[in-house]
Amino acid sequence: MHDPILGIRDLDAFYGDFQALYGLDLHVDAGEVLAIIGANGAGKTTLLRSIAGLMKNGAEQVRYRGQPIGALRADQIAALGIALVPEGRQLFPSLSVEENLMIGGRTGRKGPWSLDAVYNLFPILEERKAQASTSLSGGQQQMVAIGRALMANPDLILFDEISLGLAPIIIKDIYAALPGIVGEGMSAVIVEQDITKALSVSSRVYCLQEGRVSLEGASDALSREDISRAYFGIA
């Protein structure tokens, strides 16, 4: 039994009057890879944005290493060691590839990740480092987004649909790099539409449905039927 690195309790989230999350409970154990699956609009991105500090939460709704962080600003949470690889990559178009990576390292946290380490992981980025990030292919942009998050030397890294819109061969490459990333003692949360992929890289999985947890369990213990039911809400 480990201590959770992240604990979420009774988390709600709103966009104006619209409620996207309803009393969510969830935890991430230290050193584990946790998968979050669920249909489009289930609230996966909202959950990650809440953890990263981009939604308004109560302090106690998100605890990190035993500290309440729910009410902190996103930049304060980043400084504590939580990094998000956002859905759709969201690179800074005015910054070159290398500048995108460098700004990821702005928190000044110590650790194994540096420009050299990222270039080692994704050598193509070193060749393209002076280019505008918008000039890269989708897969290369995703590498920049991952590298940018790693540059912060996070203890907990959140991946939001890193395979979205990429060719299968690129997805394979990126997932092949994952063990080298999370093997460094990092904990990870992976949001993924591709259920097989999500189950194969994770130790535990939560399924979200319409803003609620509809299923949770060990990734190798859940049956396909359970997952389909939790995913689509078919009784």
Partner 1 sequence: MDWVNAIVQGTLLGGLYALFAAGLSLIFGVMRLVNIAHGDLIVLAAYLGLTTSVALGLHPLAALLVVIPAMAGIGYVLQRGVLNQTLGDDILPPLLVTFGLSVIIQNALLEGYTADPQKMDAGALETASFGFGGLTLGVLPVLTFAVAVAVIAGLQWMFYRTPLGRAFRATSDNQDIAQLMGLNKAHVFGLAMALSLAVVAVAGIFLGIRTSFDPSIGGGRLIFGFEAVIIGGLGNLWGTLVGGVILGVAQTVGAKIDPGWQLLAGHLVFLLILAVRPNGLFPRVDA
Binding region for ligand ADP (CB under 6 A): 15, 18, 20, 38, 40-46
Report, in Å, the least distance between residue 84 CB and Mg ion. 12
Report, in Å, the least distance between residue 16 CB and partner 1. 12
Which amino acid, one-letter code, is at 208?
L
Helices (H), 1-43: none
Tokens for 232, please give them: 């689509």
Closest CA to 48 of 19, 84, 14, 72: 84
From 12-20, 87-95, 164-172, 186-194, span contacting partner 1 (CB under 8 A): 87-95
Is residue 29 part of the contact set for partner 1 (CB under 8 A)?
no
| Helix/strand/coil for 67 | strand
Residues 64, 213: Cα–Cα separation, whole Å = 20
Percent of the chain as helix, strand, coil, to the nearest 5: 40, 25, 35
Output 141 or 209, the one with its CB closest to ligand ADP: 209
Binding residues for Mg ion (CB under 5 A): 44-45, 87
Output 42 or 72, the one with its CB closest to ligand ADP: 42
Residues that bind partner 1 (CB under 8 A): 52-54, 73-76, 78-79, 83-84, 86, 90, 92-95, 99, 102-104, 106-107, 132, 134, 148, 152
